[in-house]
Structure 1
Amino acid sequence: MSALPSSAATGRIAFLGGGNMARSLIGGLVARGADPASIHVAEPAEVLRQALARDFGVQVFAEATAAAEGTDLWLLAVKPQVMQAVCEALAPQAQATRPLVVSIAAGVTVARLQQWLGGEVPVVRCMPNTPALLGAGVTGLFAGAGVDAARRERADAVLASAGQTVWIEREALMDAVTAVSGSGPAYVFLLAEAMQAAAEAEGLPAADARTLVSQTLLGAGRMLAESEEPATELRRRVTSPGGTTQAAIETFQAGGFEALVGQAVAAARRRGAELAGG
C-alpha cells in the first residue's frame, strides 16, 4: 500500500463518528503511514472508543467538540438523522477555524452542511461503499465552493485509504453515484443469492454452491477491474455461440435484464434525491 502524499500526512484529522466506515478509513490511513496521534475520533459508545484506541493508537473522545479541537480536517461519519445536531454543536468552532469538512453522509447536501455549520466552510461531500471495509471500496466525491486543489488532494488521500476515488463535477450527480456504487454491493449480493439458490435447486450442496458463486463473482470482478477491455468484450469472450453461456444470457435478456437494471438504478437515484430534498 502506498504512503500518504505529504499534504495528507500533515495536519490533524477529527473523525466525528467511529463506526465501521470511519474505522476502515482510520485503519487505511494508519497502514499508509499517518501518525495515529494526529487522528482524533469522537464516538459516544465507550466500547467502540476503546477498540479504536487499542487497535490503532488514535486519540478518542466522547464529544465531537473535544475531538475537533486543534484539527484542520473534520470527517463527518455520523448518521444523517443526527448530522444537524452534530454540525450545529460544532458551528462556533467551524466558523473560528474554517476546517476542511468531509462528509460521508448519504443525502446531505453541501449547502445544508454549510448552513448547519454556520457559514461557508469548505465542504467535500463523499459517497463510499461497504467494500471500503476491506480496502476495496470506491468513493465518489464532490467539492463544494471554496475547496481548492490542496484541499481536494487531502480529501482524496483520506478516502483513497479505503479504495479508489472518482471526482464528480456536479453535486446532483451524487445521487447517481449513490445509486450505482453506494447501493451497488446490494445488487451483487442479490445476484449472489439468486445464483446460489439456483445452484442448490440444480442439486449442488449449499456449501459448494456458495463457494462456486462467491469465487465466480470475485474472479469476474477482478477481471473487470484489472482488464483494459470493456465489460461487453469480456462477456463476449465467455459466450461461445450456441453454448451454455449464450443460452443463459438469452434467457436473461428475454426477461428484460438490462432494462430492469436501468430501472433499479433510476429508482435508487430518485430516492436519493428525495432524501436529499427532505
Structure 2
Amino acid sequence: MTFDMDMAAPSLEESKAFFRGAKISPQSLRPRTMSLNMLSAKSELSSPTSDDSDVLVGKDTPAVLGFSDNVSEDNRQAAKDSIHFSERYADLKADIKRAPIEWHAHYREAMRHCGWTMTAYKYGSHTTSQTNVTMEAIVLDIVNAVAGANASAMLNLVRSVFSTIKADDKLIQLFENTSKGGETGEFRIVPCLQSRAGTAITLFLAVDCKLKSSEGGAWFWKWKWSQVKLNKVATMVELNRRVHLRNQDLIYDVLDKDSEAFFEGAKKLIS
C-alpha cells in the first residue's frame, strides 16, 4: 500500500492540532520474551545515556539508528527525538503485528510533524530469490537499491552499524529481544548522513516477516533464508530543520523522558 504523500511541510496550526491530541505508549506494548541471560545482561548494560554514541538500539522497540561521523549534534538529537516520539506514538495507535498498515500510517504522520520529509512511503511485499542468505544480507541489498546516489555511503554506514552491534553481546541480546516475538520478526533501521549543506539525510527501512523454526543464534545474523517473503517500507528521508525546531517544544511536551533513555548506545567500531 502506498500512503498519500503530502510533500508540503505541515503548518504551525496543523502541528499544534496534531500534538494537542498526541499520546504515546508508556512503554512498548508488544510482548517481550526475556531469557535469564537477558535479565542478567540488563543490569550490565553500558551507560543509560547515549549522548556520545553513534549506534543506537531501542530498549523497548526494534529500532536501530546509526550516524556518520559528520552528523552534527543538533541533527543527531533531532533524529533521536523524532524516532523516539514516532515509535511510541505509533505503538499506542496500532498493533504493528495485527495492523501494520495502520501502524505505518501513524508513524509516517508523526515523522512529518517532527520535520522529516519522506520521498515515498510504500508498505508492500518483498521477495528475494537469493538462497542461503542472512537477513543482514537482504537488508544491505535493499539499501543498495533504494539509496540512489547515497548508496555507497549508506552501505558503508549500515555495515559499520551492524559490525558494532555484532561485536557487543549486550546489543545483540537487546535487538534479539525486541525484534523477535513468537513466529514474527520486525525491525526499523535508520542510517543518518549529513550533506555538505548540513541537511540530515536518512534512509528509513522497516521490515516485518514470518520466522522459521529456530535455527539457534541471533535470527538476524545467523539464520539462513531461501526465497524469503517479507513486508517492507524503504524510503529516503530528509530533515526540514525549520519545521523540527518550530515543533521541538511540542515534541518535548509529549515525551515523558529524554530520548537518551529510550536507546542503548555504542561507538562505531569502523568510521
TM-score class normalised by the smaller sequence: under 0.3
TM-score (normalised: structure 2)? 0.22
Q: Relative contact order (C-alpha < 8 Å, sep 6+): which is higher?
A: 2
